[in-house]
Amino acid sequence: MIYALWLPSASETLVIAGLLLLPFCMLLVLAGLLMLWPAARALKEANVADRPRKIMIALFCLLLNIPAAAVAMLHAHYVHSLYPVTVINDSAAAIDSLTFTDPLAQDYTLPPIAPYSRIDKRIPFYGEGSVHYRLVTSGREDKGLLIGYISSGLSSHVTLRVDAGGTVHIEERTPPPALSGPW
């Protein structure tokens, strides 16, 4: 339920609530597994013909919670690694190549960007450290620092602007901190 509420909002409060509920949910799965034993014995004593099928369905339903929780956690981690990046090309020349390199040396290359155009992307950057860019315009290469420091959950919005003279300008905005509760 928390995951379903978190999907449209990506609220930090719901992430914390989900993490706090994980041990409790694992305890409930273990309790369900332990209660499956007396239920199986009761079915055996009642001489139920399809006892193995009923036990397997109950076991499957209990064990399905583990991969479902893992998928939810991996998706939340992925969403929190996305950084909004805006590229604005105010020059008369197209940007032939623009590559971002995160602290784990993973490259993310954008397609060519036409003159006087803008693109907005949410790019997954991983690791802790700085993010660099490499920009090629009309055969001229420009390298520099895009984001000074990234870490898990420290998202910021970055705008890379190429002005009419071909100079690159970087503007990094950090969003305001999320509210930590209803008070």
Domain ranges of the chain: 2-79, 83-173
Kindly report whether the global pTM for this prediction surpasses the value 0.95.
no
- Which tens digit of pLDDT belongs to each residue from 44-68? 888 888 888 888 888 898 888 888 8
Average pLDDT of the chain, as a whole number: 85
Residue 7 has pLDDT above 90, yes or no: no
**14-18, 19-23, 78-82, 150-154: range with lowest mean pLDDT:** 150-154
- Percentage of the chain beyond pLDDT 70 is 92
Helix 12-45 with 2-9: angle, nearest 10 deg: 150
Whether the predicted pLDDT of 175 surpasses 70 = no
pLDDT above 70 for 177: no
pLDDT of 182 reads 38
pLDDT in tens, 127-152: 899 999 999 998 899 999 998 888 76
Fold classification of 83-173 (topology level):
Immunoglobulin-like (2.60.40)
Residue 138 tokens, joined: 């009309």
